[in-house]
Chain A
């Protein structure tokens, strides 16, 4: 108890004298704020991308590709395969008794980003007539749904705001036809909002070649997945890979997500080392500014532990302030900031997503800040504790 009292007394005294050392103390705060801001912002990129991709899947939906395909872009399913897939057990049936499935074809379209006029590949997804049952989350927010056989497209909300020439009524030429934008849709913030959709048969007919890339089916229940998968694997007429939709999309963003992680931790790590040095600097000078005070306290009976704890507490407090400022800056500047990249899974062309500074990220940032503060405070704290009292009192 006595020790605890000592610690709190010295720490309090320390904090009270902080305003007098504001110049040096602020170095820790700014240094750590910088590290945390960079770390959290870069990680917010991968969190945002992951959230968008994971959102794209539902547990009771499965996607079927040609076997060996890493993504839809590298898959081809002939018409008879698509039919066989739709007949498999485990697929939910609609009120008319037909299995709920959407054979889809995926093409890329060149569009220009509004922001910097860069030319990018955007996915144009041909979907089956049962789209509404397969993806009930799809809602038209402007204009109307496309009609089959007349080369009309609807565009995702994110694509609409990111790329030029996608307003309702706009026309563009691709894949052997002129397409008219007739509506804008939302799917609740998933990766499909970065794409355009049209009728699959119309798309295939317009370019006079090609086939389906995938079949997305709605299952009876998430548990029927295995039954569905086993049935397709057992069918000798089919050579396909079946994945749960959520897993498929997660897998698509895995590589780029890893790259962003590595960048974040390498850059953040190097910056953190720099911040540790500046924290060491600050805490050493804080200790040496209080040399006489520390020696006096030791002389009147305060223990070494109390000294160590007080210096550590000071470093931690400053680090915490820095961490909070850094995380707040990342949140203020980048949360919800819309970015787009072609790296988000070759599956879906250009992916548009929002940076997301999640509470978990903020916690990570603050944890880093505290670690830096602790390391930066430890050595000066030990120095404060080891100080020979007599010499220190005579100093200066």
Chain B
């Protein structure tokens, strides 16, 4: 600690240079924090997805659909707690640009499968009593100012009604809170029975069976059992856990890991070069000063340590600022619109610190070694 002043003086010997170097390290770690944070965040969200839920879809493709009669057979598989289903309805409100994520379902077991979703029991009851009822997520209700009791027209480009109209009327009978699930949960539900009765064609299919199971450890065996049950039938099934399904969907978008790593790699390489150069330059300029230190009795190792600690201080401090900034961006909710509720994963901060340490060592060691090897006489003579 007693050398603190010395290191401090060394750091600020050229104020502008140190500040600019620091600023570029801050920027690099801000970028590192943002990209790696999103990447890791996505992965954590996926692995944390519920394991006591299974999704059954047609083996060939989800859009093929499954017969509605499968529900009872899946319900009979031992270990299955509740079975509901989703049929994609789509639709829009007022004009085609306001897409509504509407699904036909069996509401009562749906909220048994998604236990974390909160809904008042009287709403569920009303949904069962009202053929044309609809349950709406709170965010969606807020967006269009819908209240319980409202009658809303929903347009659809796929499902014509029996009367030949492409507009369906629904009575909103309840509002539920989707916050425990985060973004991406379908937030408009209509009764499958009404859908089946009122649509001119295709009301008999189900896109996903949602299966709640009692014991998460049995997820694999129950999945196999369900798929085996429908093997060699006209509509073969594929059962996946929630996280497997999400992983599959994410992979379809592209190799996000690769893109993030490539960008972060390019940034860090550039930065390494810059910092190493600054440190080299600074040591070169100070050759006579270091020689004086050695003359005063500082050992070679001590001089090496001084230079190295300087590099460490610079890198770690700047990296910390960058990571803190990235965390602030995460917590400010600026990304909420696109990515839902996200917090900075701690692992990313740890990774960032590690990278900063490596950066400091790699860029600081060569000049520190050079300082250690300085010969007093030669250095003072400026040779």
Contacts and interface: CB of A to CB of B under 8 A. Distances in A.
A102 to B, nearest CB: 20
Interface stretch (B42-50, B60-68, B112-120, B372-380): B60-68
Nearest to B272: A30
A141 interface: no
A66 B157 contact: yes
A393 interface: no
A68 interface: yes
A46 to B, nearest CB: 13
Given A24-B281, A76-B160, A174 B20 contact: no
Contacts of A23: 277, 280-281
B72 interface: no
Interface stretch (A92-100, A193-201, A304-312, A339-347): A339-347
Contact of B92 (A66, A68, A342): A68
Given A27-B273, A108-B63, A341-B252, A76 B157 contact: yes
A293 to B, nearest CB: 17
B23 A277 contact: yes
Contacts of A350: 252
Interface stretch (A8-16, A56-64, A117-125, A294-302): A117-125
Contact of A285 (B34, B248, B263, B281): B281
Contact of B31 (A207, A210, A267): A267
Contacts of B60: 109-110, 173-175
Contacts of A284: 16-17, 20
Contacts of A27: 273-274, 277
A343 B253 contact: yes
A242 interface: no
A111 to B, nearest CB: 10
Contacts of A107: 61, 63-64
B158 interface: yes
B254 interface: yes
Interface in A260-280: 267, 270-271, 273-275, 277-278, 280
B241 to A, nearest CB: 15
A274 B273 contact: no
Greatest chain A CB density within 10 A among B21, B62, B159, B278 is at: B278
Given A31-B270, A34-B267, A175-B64, A281 B20 contact: yes
What is the predominant secondary structure among interface residues of chain A facing chain B? mixed
Nearest to A176: B234
Contacts of A68: 92, 95-96, 155-157, 166
B281 A342 contact: no
Contact of A110 (B61, B156, B159, B201): B61
B137 interface: no
B255 A116 contact: yes
B17 A118 contact: no
Contacts of B27: 270-271, 273-274, 277
Interface in B147-169: 155-160, 166
A303 interface: no
A239 interface: yes
Contacts of A26: 273, 277
A345 to B, nearest CB: 13
A274 B155 CA distance: 49
Interface string B249-274: 10111110000000100110111011
A274 B96 contact: no
B229 to A, nearest CB: 18
Given A68-B96, A285-B17, A271 B31 contact: yes
A43 B64 CA distance: 36
A75 B157 contact: yes
Interface in B28-82: 28, 30-31, 34-35, 59-64
A366 interface: no
Given A339-B254, A342-B252, A274 B201 contact: no
A70 interface: yes
A261 to B, nearest CB: 14
Contacts of B278: 281
A211 B271 CA distance: 57
Contacts of B157: 65-70, 74-76
B223 to A, nearest CB: 16
B248 A118 contact: yes
Indicate the size class of the contact surface on chain B. Answer: 35 or more
A70 B158 CA distance: 11
Nearest to B88: A74
A281 B274 contact: yes
A104 B68 CA distance: 27
Given A66-B158, A67-B166, A274 B61 contact: no
B274 A343 contact: no
A370 interface: no
Contact of B266 (A38, A76, A277): A38
Interface in A231-268: 239, 267
Contacts of A211: 201
Nearest to B30: A270
Contacts of B252: 118-121, 341-342, 350
Contact of B61 (A34, A42, A109): A109
Contacts of A209: 201-202, 205
Contact of A118 (B20, B23, B251, B277): B251
Contact of B248 (A70, A119, A176): A119
A144 B85 CA distance: 42
A68 B90 CA distance: 11
Nearest to B165: A239
Interface string B168-179: 000000000000
A313 interface: no
Contacts of A175: 60-61, 64
Greatest chain A CB density within 10 A among B17, B60, B160 is at: B60
A323 to B, nearest CB: 14
Contacts of A65: 157
Greatest chain B CB density within 10 A among A207, A274, A342 is at: A274
Given A67-B157, A343-B253, A277 B24 contact: yes
B99 interface: yes
Nearest to A210: B202
Nearest to A274: B27
A7 interface: no
B61 A277 contact: no
Give 8 nearest A-B pairs by CB, closest first.
A342-B252, A274-B27, A69-B157, A34-B270, A174-B60, A68-B96, A281-B20, A277-B24
7 contacts: A34-B267, A68-B155, A78-B160, A207-B64, A210-B202, A278-B21, A340-B254
Interface of B: 16-17, 20-21, 23-24, 27-28, 30-31, 34-35, 59-64, 90, 92, 95-96, 99, 155-160, 166, 201-202, 205, 234, 248-249, 251-255, 263, 266-267, 269-271, 273-274, 277-278, 280-281
Given A26-B277, A211-B201, A271-B31, 5 more contacts: A68-B155, A70-B96, A78-B160, A275-B270, A341-B254
